[in-house]
Structure 1
Amino acid sequence: MTPEAQGVLPHAPARRALGVVVPFDMELDAELWRWLPNDVDLLVTRTPFFDDVVTVEFAREVAQTRVVAEGVRSVTAGRAEAVLYACASGSFVHGRAGQEELVRAMTAAGSRDAVTTSGAIVEALGVLGIRHVSIATPYTSALSLLLGSFLNEYGVTMAGHAALGLDQRIWEVPYAQTAELIRQADAPEAEAIVVSCTNLPTYDLIAPLEAQLGKPIVTANQATMWAGLRRLGRLANGERQSLLHVPAHAELPGL
């Protein structure tokens, strides 16, 4: 006779959890979940709304440490074992010093382990041994070039660059347009292509474009989820994505 037949209820399986702080305009929560193992949850919160489009000023607004810290406090009140700040521009707009200040603020707010999207991209490039990249973004040129400056502070040079020049509704960019953007950004000297913005859909493009272009493609949401899951000692889901072949317990590069 089964335990259920005897009136004994089964125990719910143990689950892990990552906290995620996203900007108020984030539309791709569902894409983040695609990298998750079945027994890991996302506890998501948003920064407060303000009326602006995606510019350098917008990135500075969502990068305020007090705003991000408040989000961290809300998710660490639950089961979050690590907290991700899932915003690329908000974590590179103030350069390396700003990214590292965000991590300190997140830790001070209660996160046992803190990761920003831009920090995750640097971490991903480090474990892949990449020092020369092309950059593809949906941003305006002014915001896009700040990503190149940020990566340069970590010893990563920009070999190629392409940007869509958008300042709103980035989540509506179709895969075909993003694929062409990535191809335009590619350069012979680039060892990998970095695709920025957590509001730009990329999941289904990574594997086919890596096969076509013959080099790793590191995207904002992919790197964020990969780095967060590493803190749990877990691998992200995703077939034929170069970054996801890195062992979960591989040594972290110095940031």
Structure 2
Amino acid sequence: MTAIGFLYPGHSAEDDYERIEQMLASDVRLAVVHTDIGEDAHRIDALLEMGAAERLAAGVEELRLSGAEAVVWACTSGSFVYGREGAQEQIRALARSAGLPASSTSFAFAHAVRALGASRVAVAATYPEDVAGLFADFLKAGGVEVVSSRSSGIITAAEVGTWGRDEVLELALAGDAREAEVVLLPDTALHTAAYLRELEQVLGKPVLTANQVSVWEGLRLAERRVWSKTLGRLFARPE
């Protein structure tokens, strides 16, 4: 049994992790520990507070009890908001606190893009425009070319968590660009696990979503590879 720990802010789409665990159908356990979200707002000051070291450290003891072999800060906006260097320091502090290999959803996206052999991406974000722009900046700082970035202007994770299949498909289609090799949906508050296969069929290209890449990143840190036919190209077995 391999256990991966996730620090997840508040309550929005955490049931994606249970769904993904079932879809993996393997000896992998995904342990979700909730951190204090503070003010639920996709606003830069609120996001900086959400990702503060003390908030992440508060969930570490419970995470240790889960037997996790690695930990992922499962919040994209609460990591890229610090910039690339700040986000690196955030996960270094988390690794020290937890005594485990650590990463965040923002770095998971960058690593997953490279794993797919891609370099040009389109961002389809639920966030307001300024926050979506910070995600694009984060990716560019890591050598990923962002050919387009679309924002939806949604302020709260709670609202994003109510979105279903139709809204997710509409977001991905609206955010796609012809030049993009991959489409990224960066919000861990967005339910996407159930729609990954359909998203890729409709767009005709790989789609990376926040909870999907968070799980992939945790497995990568634990040096586990698990394949799935339902979790998109990222989890596809090499031919």
Normalising by structure 1, we get a TM-score of 0.85
SS in 1 for 2:85: helix
SS in 2 for 1:230: helix
Equivalent of 2:201 in 191, 200, 211? 211
CA shift in 2, pair 1:72/1:237, >3 Å: farther
Name the counterpart of 1:86: 74
C-alpha displacement of 1:17:
1.4
Any idea what the Cα deviations from partners look like across 1:33-62, whole Å, max 9, x if unmatched? 222244322332222252342222221111
Name the counterpart of 2:13: 28
Cα distance between partner residues in 2 of 1:83 and 1:156: 24
SS in 2 for 1:109: helix
Name the counterpart of 1:156: 144
SS in 2 for 1:45: strand
Deviates more, 1:82-91 or 1:159-168: 159-168
C-alpha displacement of 1:246:
5.8
Equivalent of 2:125 in 124, 134, 137? 137
Any idea what the Cα deviations from partners look like across 1:157-184, whole Å, max 9, x if unmatched? 2112222111122101222122111111
Report the AA paired with residue 128 of structure 1. Answer: L
Identity of aligned residues (%): 32
C-alpha displacement of 1:117:
0.5
The answer (yes or no) to whether the contact 2:122–2:177 under 8 Å persists in 1 is: yes
CA shift in 2, pair 1:33/1:235, >3 Å: same
The answer (yes or no) to whether the contact 1:83–1:111 under 8 Å persists in 2 is: no
Equivalent of 2:213 in 223, 241, 244? 223
Any idea what the Cα deviations from partners look like across 1:5-43, whole Å, max 9, x if unmatched? xxxxxxxxxx3211111112x322221122224432233
Verify: 1:122 aligned to 2:107, yes or no: no
C-alpha displacement of 1:231:
2.9
Deviates more, 1:166-175 or 1:44-53: 44-53
SS in 1 for 2:99: coil
Equivalent of 2:43 in 35, 55, 65? 55
Equivalent of 1:245 in 233, 236, 239? 236
The answer (yes or no) to whether the contact 2:229–2:236 under 8 Å persists in 1 is: no
Name the counterpart of 2:161: 171
CA shift in 2, pair 1:142/1:87, >3 Å: same
CA shift in 2, pair 1:101/1:73, >3 Å: farther
The answer (yes or no) to whether the contact 2:228–2:237 under 8 Å persists in 1 is: no
Name the counterpart of 1:253: none
Name the counterpart of 2:101: 113
SS in 2 for 1:218: strand
Equivalent of 2:52 in 52, 58, 64? 64
Cα distance between partner residues in 1 of 2:130 and 2:167: 20
Count, aligned residues: 232
* Ranges in structure 1 where 5+ consecutive residues have no aligned partner: 1-14, 248-255
Name the counterpart of 1:251: none
Name the counterpart of 1:17: 3
* Ranges in structure 2 where 5+ consecutive residues have no aligned partner: none
Any idea what the Cα deviations from partners look like across 1:170-221, whole Å, max 9, x if unmatched? 1012221221111111111111001011011112222122122221101000
The one of the two structures with greater contact order (alpha-carbon pairs below 8 A, sep at least 6) is: 2
SS in 1 for 2:108: helix
Whose helix fraction is larger, Structure 1's or Structure 2's? 2
C-alpha displacement of 1:156:
0.8
Name the counterpart of 1:41: 29
Cα distance between partner residues in 2 of 1:240 and 1:88: 19
